[in-house]
Amino acid sequence: MIIGLTGGIACGKSTVSRLLAEREARIIDADIIAREVVRPGEPAWSLIVDRFGQNILLENQQLDRIKLGSIVFSDEAARLDLNAIIHPAVRKRMKELTEAAEQEGVPLIVLDIPLLFESKLEYMVEKVVVVHCTPEQQLERLMERNGFSREEALRRIASQMPVEEKKSRADYCIDNSGTLFDTELQVDELVERLVSPD
């Protein structure tokens, strides 16, 4: 079974991902892969350097994320160009890792994709799991985790699809507004339903 794991920013998706990994699920994390595909020498890295020039590289040839970020956040066309390079590379690597896990006979494969709906990647998975919490918790957790001001945190939250809409499109929801124990119980139930559906 291949599931897509998503949710609102700071709603606890990483916690659920960790709990699933502890229960033998194979986690394929889009954020980690996005960092891997832009390492020096990777095809996507070469395309980025061709498009944005050598001055976005650090001395060790890694991308200067701060410099690149300042370019793409102030120029919509540049941002779209960067996404057009990175996104296909990430999808290709995720597909390869998913196929390898299937060949190994892994019963539960989890594609951890923060912007699963926004990127229209539902076609890559069989079921979608959305992690959510209350809007107040989401705001507090994001401010605490990233050191954001209230305004900054609200802006980040507003830049994503509303959590309520994600929940309405999910096959399963995990409510992460209670204790860790509450979340674990829901994860256990989910794994049981997905791995041994009667």
| pLDDT recorded at residue 73 | 81
Is the Cβ–Cβ distance between 5 and 108 less than 8 Å? no
| pLDDT recorded at residue 17 | 97
Rounded Cα distance between 116 and 168, Å, is 14
Residue in 88, 174, 89 with CA at minimum distance from that of residue 132: 174
Structure tokens at 143: 């401010």
pLDDT 10s per residue in the chain (198 long)?
A: 999 999 999 999 999 999 999 999 999 999 999 999 999 999 999 999 999 999 999 999 999 988 998 898 888 899 899 999 999 999 999 999 999 999 999 999 999 999 999 989 999 999 999 999 999 999 999 999 989 999 989 988 888 899 999 999 999 999 999 999 999 999 999 999 998 765
Rounded Cα distance between 17 and 135, Å, is 21
User: What domains lie within the chain, and their CATH numbers?
Assistant: 1-25+107-198 (3.40.50.300), 32-105 (3.40.50.300)
User: Any bridge partners for residue 51, and if so which?
Assistant: none
Rounded Cα distance between 141 and 121, Å, is 26
Residues comprising the chain, all counted: 198
| pLDDT recorded at residue 131 | 97
Which pTM does this prediction carry? 0.88
Sheet of 172-175: strand order equals 26-29, 109-112, 2-7, 127-132, 172-175
| pLDDT recorded at residue 159 | 83
Kindly report the backbone phi and psi dihedral angles of residue 165, in degrees, each rounded to the nearest multiple of 5, phi listed first: -70, -40
Structure tokens at 131: 């992690």
